[in-house]
Amino acid sequence: MVKVNTDKEQYEKLLKTMHRFNDACNDIANVAFKNRCANKVKLQKIVYYDIRERYGLSAQMTVRAISKVVESYKRNKKIKPTFRRDGAMVYDQRILSWKGIDRVSILTLDGRIELPIVFGQYQAMRMNRIRGQVDLIHRNGTFYLAVVVDVPEEEMIKPVGVLGVDMGIVNIAVDSDGDTYSGEEMDRVRERIESLKADLQRCGTKSAKRHLKKISGREARFRRNMNHCISKELVAKAKDTQSIIALEELGGIRNGTTVRKSQRRRQHSWGFYQLRRFIEYKAALAGIPVVGIDPAYTSQECPVCHHISRKNRPNRDTFRCGLCGFSGHADHIAAMNIAARVTVNLPIVSGFIEHELQEQAPTL
Q: Which stretch binds Zn ion (CB under 5 A): 3-11, 68-76, 317-325, 333-341?
A: 317-325
DSSP annotation of 5? -
Which of 304, 344, 361, 364 touches Zn ion (CB under 5 A)? Answer: 304
Residue 328 CB, shortest distance to Zn ion, in Å, is 11
Do the Cβ atoms of 312 and 302 come closer than 8 Å? yes
**Taking the CA atoms of the chain, what radius of gyration do you get in angstroms?**
25
How near is the Cβ of 325 to Zn ion at its closest, in Å?
A: 7
Amino acid at 189: V
Residue with Cβ nearer Zn ion (79 or 324) = 324
Phi/psi of residue 118, each to 5°?
Answer: -105, 110
The reply on whether position 79 binds Zn ion by CB under 5 A is no
Least Cβ distance, residue 196 to Zn ion (angstroms): 44
Q: Considering beta carbons, is residue 48 or 297 the nearer one to Zn ion? A: 297
Helix residue spans in 35-148 (DSSP H): 40-55, 59-75, 121-125
Residue 139, phi then psi, degrees to nearest 5: -145, 125
What lies within 8 Å, CB to CB, of 119 at 6+ separation is 2, 101, 102, 127
Cβ proximity to Zn ion: between 156 and 323 the closer is 323
- Pick the binder of Zn ion from 151, 169, 305, 361 (CB under 5 A): 305
Q: Which of 226, 321, 333, 357 contacts Zn ion by CB under 5 A?
A: 321
Considering only 142-150, 220-228, 322-330, 345-353, which stretch makes contact with Zn ion by CB under 5 A?
322-330
Task: Write the DSSP assignment of 310-361 as a string of letters.
Answer: GGG-SSSSEEE-TTT--EEEHHHHHHHHHHHHHHHHTTT-THHHHHHHHHTP
For residues 181, 183, 188 and 190, what is the CA-based torsion angle, rounded to 10 degrees? -30
Q: Minimal distance in Å, beta carbon 331 to Zn ion?
A: 17
DSSP state of 36: T
**Which part of the chain contacts Zn ion (CB under 5 A), choosing from 128-136, 212-220, 289-297, 301-309?**
301-309
Using the rule CB under 5 A, which residue among 126, 277, 307, 313 binds Zn ion? 307
Identify which of 341, 122, 335 has the alpha carbon closest to the alpha carbon of residue 237.
335
Bridge partners for 91 per DSSP: 134
Least spacing, CB of residue 300 vs Zn ion, in Å: 11
Which of 33, 323, 343, 362 forms a contact with Zn ion (CB under 5 A)? 323
Should residue 311 be labelled a site residue for Zn ion when binding is judged by CB under 5 A?
no
Q: Any idea what DSSP says for residue 147?
A: E
Residue 326 binds Zn ion (CB under 5 A): yes
**Residue closer to Zn ion, measured from CB, 221 or 310:** 310
Q: For 103, phi and psi rounded to 5 degrees?
A: -140, 150
Rank residues 139 and 306 by Cβ distance to Zn ion and give the closer one.
306
Using DSSP, state whether 126 is helix, strand or coil. Answer: coil
Q: Which stretch in 41-49, 188-196, 198-206, 324-332 sits in contact with Zn ion by CB under 5 A?
A: 324-332
Residue 297 lies near Zn ion (rule: CB under 5 A): no
**Which residues of the shown chain bind Zn ion in the complex (CB under 5 A)?**
302, 304-305, 307, 321, 323-324, 326
